[in-house]
Homo-oligomer: A and B are copies of this chain.
Amino acid sequence: MKALVYNGPGEKSWTEVPKPVILHPTDAIVRVETTTICGTDLHILKGDVPAVQPGRILGHEGVGTVVEVGSAVGTLSTGDRVLISCIKSCGHCANCKTGLYSHCLGDEGASGIGWVFGHLIDGTQAEFVRVPYADNSLYKLPSEVDDSQAVMLSDILPTGFEIGVRYGGVKPGDVVAVVGAGPVGLAAMMTAGLYGAGEVVAIDIDEGRLEKAKEFGATSVVLSSAEDWRERVLSMTDGAGVDVAIEAVGVPETFTMAVGLVRPGGSVANVGVHGRPVDLHLEDLWIRNISISMGLVNTDTTPLLLRLVAQKKLRAERFATHHFDFEHIMDAYETFSNAAQTGALKVLIER
């Protein structure tokens, strides 16, 4: 079969590799029909994630059809059309039992991290993929949900919802600021209404993204490169600050913006993947009764989000801006890498 293989920093190829096989009775093999590229894949390609070894097949998002199941797989059969979650979870370790699937201790070549695809084991940017703990990591898809919707549930929609909206503790009527209107920030905006957010303020330096933000649930937009964003946002809240500030970029400046926007008693939910430390101004913050959360998605909300997509309450298909077939996956990477020019949110790679 063919797959997108990481060959070390800056190097990747769409190349012939062996087809995966069942290694454990809880595994399944899935024929991938749709996959996509995540910002994390670009980080890996830069060499920023040393745990990823050359030879690794990338990708942790996908939709496909089960072609083989291990002897202990109880809920899936050959022929089932499934969503592949970006997180593997054994379902019975101490962390899984408390819903902390992101830190599943199950022993699939990883220790203490639920994100393994395209990282510690081969991933989904391939014609076939081996899925560990298939009963917990795959979700049967109803016919109302098409591939371009479903693939948004592998990672970005649960990430924006769980790590942004839920960790942030969004409540009915809250004013929520989202710093960064990329795919994950937009996912947070799209799902903030599920807890009744009263106002969703999108903040970005790109006018095109802010236009997009309005389609994804933002009720106001702030172009932080052109206006005094803090003044603007505080003025919307009688000077107090927002209830929840969601960081969805991953650099120190945007984290500091988020912290600076939140009211006493509010919360900051960091969703961004960071590469550098940030100054936390505890000399001002200690007295403000705020909390700061962060983390990797657990995907415990995937069944819920899937139902909402089926009910057309979440328009997941809006993230899909570009389509490629598997043979043009290198073009898909090119388009996604130049999102500022191409306007790409999620690029789909389809059979």
Chain A residues within 8 Å of B, Cβ to Cβ: 24-26, 70-72, 74-75, 90-100, 102-103, 106-107, 112-113, 135-136, 167, 172-173, 193-196, 198-199, 250, 252, 255, 264-265, 270, 272-283, 285-296, 298, 300, 303-304, 307-308, 311, 313
A276 to chain B, nearest CB (A): 6
- Say yes or no: A280 contacts B283, CB within 8 Å: no
Cα A96 to Cα B308 in complex, Å, equals 20
Candidates B102, B107, B272, B291; contact of A167 at CB < 8 Å: B291
Assuming A90-B74, A172-B195, A264-B95, is B293 touching A291 (CB within 8 A)? yes
- Say yes or no: A198 contacts B308, CB within 8 Å: yes
- Say yes or no: A291 contacts B289, CB within 8 Å: no
A294 to chain B, nearest CB (A): 5
List of B residues within 8 angstroms of A72 by Cβ: 25-26, 70-72
Cα A274 to Cα B285 in complex, Å, equals 9
List of B residues within 8 angstroms of A112 by Cβ: 264
Cα A94 to Cα B283 in complex, Å, equals 25
Cα A231 to Cα B37 in complex, Å, equals 39
List of B residues within 8 angstroms of A71 by Cβ: 25, 71-72
Cα A275 to Cα B107 in complex, Å, equals 44
List of B residues within 8 angstroms of A289 by Cβ: 100, 102-103, 294-296, 298
- Say yes or no: B277 contacts A255, CB within 8 Å: no
Assuming A98-B265, A295-B290, A296-B287, is B307 touching A136 (CB within 8 A)? no
Candidates B93, B100, B136; contact of A92 at CB < 8 Å: B136
Assuming A91-B91, A281-B277, is B198 touching A172 (CB within 8 A)? no
A207 to chain B, nearest CB (A): 25
- Say yes or no: B75 contacts A92, CB within 8 Å: yes
List of B residues within 8 angstroms of A283 by Cβ: 274-277
Cα A140 to Cα B8 in complex, Å, equals 42
Q: Which residue of B lies closest to A196 (CB)?
A: B194
* Apart from A193-B196, A291-B291: 18 A-B pairs, beta carbons within 8 A: A74-B90, A74-B92, A90-B135, A92-B136, A94-B303, A97-B300, A99-B99, A100-B264, A100-B289, A103-B264, A167-B291, A173-B304, A255-B282, A270-B286, A274-B285, A276-B283, A287-B296, A289-B295
- Say yes or no: A95 contacts B265, CB within 8 Å: yes
- Say yes or no: B194 contacts A74, CB within 8 Å: no
Candidates B167, B196, B198, B265; contact of A195 at CB < 8 Å: B196
Cα A166 to Cα B107 in complex, Å, equals 32
Q: Which residue of B lies closest to A113 (CB)?
A: B287
Cα A291 to Cα B166 in complex, Å, equals 13
